[in-house]
Amino acid sequence: MSHSPERVLLLTFARRGEEQAIERARRLLLAQYPGCRILAIGTPTSAPVLRAMGVDELIIFRSGQSKRQVLREAARRRPKVAAIVYSGSTEGHLKLEVAALGSGAKRVCRCLSDDNPEVVGRLRLFWSVAVKAVRAGACLAAGTAVCVIALCYLRMAQALAGGSRAGGC
């Protein structure tokens, strides 16, 4: 009985300039998981780059398609490992970390530009996602507060200047 090769889900933004990091991660993953098939999620714009980098299977995320549908498709292909390619530090990359958690992969690893892939537990990755989501929420709340204060200041300045008709042309 033959079994199909294991899949490694490569998660990257595939932005211009990240080709070297993607290629390095791909080589390291192939060395760590010999015979695996590299699966990636990409957009119509990133698909040619990912194919040129040697990705075996590609799930294209098209406009109008939900993220949930794409993650279901990735989970349906049963990746053994989800590998997140980080450019620089582990800051940001919230979308990719959520995708790794949603992929159903048993193992998650971080591919930083200078290191071998670091295996991280799903709980540790969940904690990272939670912290980044709270930070994003705090930034949104702070931005909303600044906008509300600015609006109140403008309304007050308008009222002091003679109401909404003051200075009309």
The CATH number assigned to the domain holding 89 equals 3.40.50.2000
CA angle 39-96-145, nearest 5°? 160
Across all residues in the chain, what is the average pLDDT? Answer: 81
Number of structural domains the chain divides into: 1
Widest pairwise Cα distance in the chain: 85
- pTM comes to 0.70
Is residue 151, in this structure, part of any structural domain at all?
no
- pLDDT given for residue 147 in this prediction: 94
Is residue 16, in this structure, part of any structural domain at all?
yes
How confident is the model over 91-127, as pLDDT tens digits?
A: 667 788 888 888 888 888 887 766 677 777 777 878 8
Is residue 161, in this structure, part of any structural domain at all?
no
Q: In Å, how far are 146, 147, 164, 169 from 158, measured between CA atoms?
A: 18, 16, 6, 15
User: Residue 101 is which amino acid?
Assistant: L
Residue 89 has pLDDT above 80, yes or no: no
Is residue 64, in this structure, part of any structural domain at all?
yes
Residue 136 has pLDDT above 90, yes or no: no
Give the count of beta carbons closer than 10 Å to the beta carbon of residue 63: 6
Distance of CA 10 to the CA centre of its chain: 11
At 63, is the secondary structure helix, strand, or coil? coil
Structure tokens at 22: 């993607």
Nearest of 130, 135, 137, 129 to residue 97 by alpha carbon: 129
- pLDDT given for residue 140 in this prediction: 92
- pLDDT given for residue 113 in this prediction: 66
Is residue 25, in this structure, part of any structural domain at all?
yes
Is residue 85, in this structure, part of any structural domain at all?
yes
- pLDDT given for residue 1 in this prediction: 43
Q: Where are the beta strands (DSSP E) in 68-138?
A: 81-85, 107-111, 118-120
Is residue 1, in this structure, part of any structural domain at all?
no
Is residue 121, in this structure, part of any structural domain at all?
yes
Domain that holds residue 111: 7-125
